[in-house]
Amino acid sequence: MRAEGFELYPAVDILGGRCVRLVRGSYETPTVYDEDPVAAAMRLVEAGARRLHVVDLDAARGGGSANIRVVQEICRTVPVPVQVGGGVRTVETASAVLSAGASRVVVGTAFWSDPTMSSRLVEAGVPFVVALDVRGSDVVVEGWTEGTGISITEAVGRVRAACAVVVTSVERDGTMEGPDMETICRVLGSCEVPVIASGGVSSLDDLTALATLEVSGRRLAGVVIGKALYEGRLRLEEALAAVSETRP
């Protein structure tokens, strides 16, 4: 029996038109896993992925939609929902990403810097997910390069209109050192919307721990997995089977 509502989101990160992974958000030493992100996305779906998490890293650092054509081709090609983020600084960009085929739009920097962004996205009919990227206890933005001074406690009170929150511990992302369970528990225990964990997953044990995690009667909605899949630490088929065997 699958943990109720718990989904795996294989990640496809795009930088310079290629499928890459970063470590702790550093753009200095990206690892290229595929020259063709569309092909990488399709392989994940063929392996059983029921949804994807796509990030335009070029846009995340500078805003806009640098890889919108690649995003559009991924959404057109794969037969599963695709949530897309990176560089969504305006409602217009969010709408463009949605028009490109995204099922949900991930918003980070603009959400935390513009108090009106949430209501304007709702008014525009854009289903959105908030990127809650955390370094220590501080929410970070601009491709994880700048702090905001917003604490986790303050942050979770702002996301009530979102479809979900993706919480990423920057210090764990791309390291395969295991999830930051302390941060995840803090968010899960106080957030009113579904929470998706991201960062550090490297093993089936990590997935089981996340799928069975419960704080104040709440469970995670899912997990984003990236480097562990590309490095062969996890096979997607095995990961899906492990989750399906986990009982809530």
Q: Write the pLDDT tens digit of every residue in 189-239.
A: 999 999 999 999 999 999 999 999 999 999 999 999 999 999 999 999 999
pLDDT higher than threshold 60 for residue 29: yes
pLDDT higher than threshold 60 for residue 4: no
pLDDT tens digits for 180-199?
999 999 999 999 999 999 99
Tokens of residue 198, six digits: 């991201």
163 three-state secondary structure: coil
pLDDT tens digits for 126-184?
999 999 999 988 999 887 788 899 999 899 999 999 999 999 998 898 888 999 999 99
Residue written as token pair 């090609």: 77
**Is 58 one of the annotated active-site residues of the chain?**
no
Average pLDDT over residues 26-45: 95
Catalytic residue among 13, 173, 180, 206: 13
135 three-state secondary structure: strand
What interhelical angle do 91-99 and 68-77 show, nearest 10? 40
As a whole number of angstroms, the distance between CA 33 and CA 23 comes to 14
Average pLDDT over residues 63-80: 92
As a whole number of angstroms, the distance between CA 224 and CA 230 comes to 13
Higher pLDDT, 247 or 35: 35
Catalytic residue among 56, 58, 133, 180: 133
Instruction: Classify residue 125 as left (phi > 0), alpha (psi -120 to 50) or beta.
Output: left
Residue written as token pair 């959105």: 128
Chain centre distance of CA 142: 15
9 three-state secondary structure: strand
pLDDT value of residue 132: 95
Q: Which of 60-69, 79-88, 155-164 bottoms out in mean pLDDT, i.e. has the lowest?
A: 60-69
Q: 224: Cβ–Cβ under 8 A, 6 or more apart, which residues? A: 9, 10, 11, 53, 166, 168, 196, 197, 198, 199, 201
Q: Which of 47, 83, 21 is nearest to 227 (CA)?
A: 21
231 three-state secondary structure: coil
**Is 13 one of the annotated active-site residues of the chain?**
yes
